[in-house]
Structure formats: C-alpha cells, structure tokens
Structure 1
Amino acid sequence: MTEQQRLELEAATFRRLVAHLQSRTDVQNIALMNLAGFCRNCLSKWYVAEGKERGVTLDLETIRTEIYGMPYAQWKAEYQKEASTEQLASFAKNKPNE
C-alpha cells in the first residue's frame, strides 16, 4: 500500500465512522464516553487540535456541525437525553484526560 492509499483509506474510514455516529442518534455521548473513552465532542476537539498542529485554524462549532451532521445545539435539543446517576458516576470515575 502506498502512503497516498493509506491516507485515502484512513480518510474514508473516518468519514464512515462519522456517518455511522450521525445515523446512531440513539447512542448518547455519555454512553460512548463510559464505554469507549471518547464521544462526538472528542472527535470534534481532536479534529480542531490536529488542524492547529498543522497550522490550520478551525472553528470548533463548525467542526461539531460536521461531526454531528447538524448544529450541536440542535442535536442536543433533538437527541440528547438526561444522563442517569449511574452514567454520571461512571463518567466521573473514568473521565479520560483530553
């Protein structure tokens, strides 16, 4: 595999992951955080951070819109449910360093 092919495959895989997360609005960010240690917001922040490392200034809200498939505030209003006490406790105990 060439370096260009690797980059294209990684990009396609990332786009597929984002599309999957956009289609799974039933999966809450806190559940992702508690099970996998990252969520949609993490992906957005990582995207912005990688841009910064490469001299590309990105707006977090614009990137969140790309990751969520809609403005973040809209996604929260339409799909985000209140976290349970158990979810919040698990998050507090296992919160990863960003």
Structure 2
Amino acid sequence: MAAPEMDEKTRTELEAAAFRTLVAHLRERTDVQNIDLMNLAGFCRNCLSKWYRAEAEAKGIPLSDPDAREIIYGMPYKEWQAKYQKEATPEQKATFAASNPGH
C-alpha cells in the first residue's frame, strides 16, 4: 500500500507530531541509555539535539548545543546525566566500538 497523497503542510505537521512523540517517549524512558540507542539504532538523544540545532541554524536561528540538548532532554544535559546516566558496561562499550568505528 502506498502512502496517501497529502500536501506539504500536512506532511510537515505529521512529521513534527511524530518527532514530538519520539522526544516525549525518550524523556519518559530514562532507563534507556544513550549507548543502548547508539548500539541498536545508530543514534541517540545527543544526535537528535545536534540535528535539531543544525536545522535551527539552517533557518538562521542561533541555538547552542546545551540549549538544543535541553530541548531534547527536557532539562539541562548535566542534570539528566546526574539523574539517569549509568556507566556503560564493557560489553556496551565493545559493541559501540565495533558498530560505530571512528565515532
């Protein structure tokens, strides 16, 4: 089945809603570590914040990395790290190194 035809505005609205839902889901799932996301999906919350910042800058909106991270994390990154980030296991680190060489 092909995707339904829709105008650009509707498509953008649907994509934006899906993005907001993803961000809300990641904010709720603090048990899911960034290294888990990187190992399974090849991106993490930090990647989302960098993509968000890059798109803002492409539109002429200056946005710092810390501000973009706060938009994605829902709090300052350092606060999120202190509350939720765990030390990566040797297995997680090995998987990351194997699946993301040079990252």
Percent sequence identity over matched residues? 63
Tell me how large the CA RMSD over aligned residues is. 1.5
2:59 maps to 54
TM-score normalised by L of structure 1: 0.93
Separation in 2 of the partners of 1:44 and 1:93? 24
1:67 maps to 72
Amino acid at match of 2:33: Q
Structure 1 residues 78-87 or 51-60, which shifts more?
Answer: 51-60
| Residues 4-32 of structure 1: per-residue CA shift (max 9 Å, x gap) | 11111111110000000000000000000
| Residues 50-96 of structure 1: per-residue CA shift (max 9 Å, x gap) | 22233322111111111011110000000000000010011111117
Residue ranges of structure 1 left out of the alignment (5+ in a row) = none
Greater Rg by CA: 2
When residues 59 and 78 of structure 1 are mapped into structure 2, their CA distance, relative to the original with a 3 A threshold, is same
Residue ranges of structure 2 left out of the alignment (5+ in a row) = 1-5
Deviation at 1:36, TM superposition (A): 0.3
CA contact (8 A) 1:32 1:38 kept: yes
Determine which structure has greater relative contact order: mean sequence separation of CA pairs < 8 Å that are 6+ residues apart, divided by chain length.
1
2:43 equivalent among 38, 42, 49: 38
CA contact (8 A) 1:30 1:91 kept: yes
TM-score normalised by L of structure 2: 0.88
CA contact (8 A) 1:37 1:96 kept: no
